[in-house]
Structure 1
């Protein structure tokens, strides 16, 4: 006779489970200009959750994220089953039929959350574009775990307005770590920059010069056409446009924090024709350099 497998939704040693009262959601989260965009309704941590099993034939009204850091299990979404292992997360859109279960012999340890909000469906769609069968592999990052734990710790401190804003703004950061993992993993680390990053650093160091597109491409060791295409893909601008934006950004500092004339500032940025500089400034900032200085100078 086949042994019956025990299944349970919760009740695991060391677990954390926080459910935001629905009245708090209705009275504050859905009304506050910040939190109504994206907010947590439930969040938890289940360590070594043996026999963990959930089945929702009609889904739930919130989006769900399950982030596995240890062990394994499976998730079935719209009758498509995917195995989940360490350093993988799965996202389940709202109102989507699903079920999931931890492995009996190597039970998963998971962080999970339910969330809603005006932009939540859009964020979920962005994440889904990067996944396969709603699942994506992540590089383990202790900072990401600390973000999640910070959310849990602060949610347990109560439901004051400032606390709820802080928690849900932190959750935005957590979601960005899933969506833009490469940027998140590189944050604060001195790692070798890619060719476009190195070129931008060079631009920032040489704002006082006139540099041609050919020189930029030569620095990057790419053909002009390839460099231009890669640069635009990374930044949304051509190299020369981007360089000019950096010059204007620097000129704003000169205008606000020095008494240099517009002509002197233009020369400091490698532009000999102050009228050309003024036209470029006006095009990007929507006002002349003099007007910018007058509007932003405090007495």
Structure 2
């Protein structure tokens, strides 16, 4: 495996490397041998982050969701900005670094598998260089977050098998998004950018001023436009995202509701327990009804 960066991880960032023994098992298992993750992470406002590899023996994916940076691959240099996706296949010598003034926030993932070429070839055909201009997509961020949630249940090999399926979904989704981007229509209200910001901040607090600024609108016009398009208010949708993430963590971890509420940005966890407990109770009732 290509060595991940040793960049010191600040608060809000994460780096997860799968155990070597697990990677070996994934490479042999019939469900995962075709495609599986090796290491992954999220670097938030990664000031000082850089990497250079003269030897690269897996496939590396990088999705820039904020800020900017620079990539050198082959004989060319590329400026990386928000919404850019980097695909670096095996043996692609490269280096990259975050911008000093507005350092990038990136999701990254190393992967391998017997059919890795088949999964990345469609992307390589769509673009002649390693940078795909996808734009911000909330569902793509959700795909990366779902893979990162793997680290919460690492005691189960079945969770690693599930990560193989998630990775398939991620790569095919990127192919679809890039194809759609080639038929892009200008939009005056970028819902994906707004909901991407919500998902990135699902573990934090987020106010209307920040969301309205993303849409370049006043608070009043932003809320009115958002509700007209979705039928809901932005804050209600943000709370829903938190509850959905909490229910997912309740499924895959042994954490208590109060602990999960704390990780989702509620300093006073008791204020968040009632809607979360109600949602979880409803979900259990539905499961038991079909059991």
Q: TM class by shorter-chain length?
A: 0.5 to 0.7
Matches within 5 A, 1:274-289: none
The structural deviation recorded for 1:154 is 2.2
Corresponding position: 1:51 with 2:48:
yes
The structural deviation recorded for 1:179 is 0.7
Corresponding position: 1:124 with 2:116:
no
Q: Which residue of 1 aligns with 2:78?
A: 82
Corresponding position: 1:134 with 2:130:
yes
Q: Which residue of 1 aligns with 2:145?
A: 149
Q: Supply the distance in 2 between the matched residues of 1:181 and 1:96 (Cα, whole angstroms).
A: 23
Q: Which residue of 2 aligns with 1:14?
A: 12
Q: Which residue of 2 aligns with 1:192?
A: none
Q: Supply the distance in 1 between the matched residues of 2:158 and 2:180 (Cα, whole angstroms).
A: 25
Corresponding position: 1:178 with 2:174:
yes
The structural deviation recorded for 1:155 is 3.2
The structural deviation recorded for 1:104 is 0.3
Matches within 5 A, 1:202-217: none
Q: Deviations over 1:239-271 (max 9, x none)?
A: xxxxxxxxxxxxxxxxxxxxxxxxxxxxxxxxx
Q: Which residue of 2 aligns with 1:31?
A: 28
Contact 1:8 1:51 (8 Å CA) reproduced:
no
Assess, with a 3 A threshold, how the Cα gap between structure 1 residues 38 and 159 changes in structure 2: closer, same or farther.
Answer: farther
Q: Deviations over 1:195-216 (max 9, x none)?
A: xxxxxxxxxxxxxxxxxxxxxx
Larger RCO (alpha carbons 8 Å, 6+ apart): 2
Contact 2:132 2:178 (8 Å CA) reproduced:
no
The structural deviation recorded for 1:159 is 4.7
Contact 1:65 1:112 (8 Å CA) reproduced:
yes
Assess, with a 3 A threshold, how the Cα gap between structure 1 residues 118 and 54 changes in structure 2: closer, same or farther.
Answer: same
Which protein shows a greater Rg? 1
Assess, with a 3 A threshold, how the Cα gap between structure 1 residues 8 and 53 changes in structure 2: closer, same or farther.
Answer: farther
Aligned partner of 2:37 among 26, 40, 48: 40
Q: TM-score, normalised by structure 2?
A: 0.57
Contact 1:24 1:159 (8 Å CA) reproduced:
no
Question: Which structure 1 residue ranges, 5 or more long, are not aligned?
Answer: 1-6, 186-299
The alignment partner of 1:174 has SS state of: helix
Q: Supply the distance in 2 between the matched residues of 1:82 and 1:10 (Cα, whole angstroms).
A: 25
Q: Supply the distance in 2 between the matched residues of 1:101 and 1:131 (Cα, whole angstroms).
A: 22
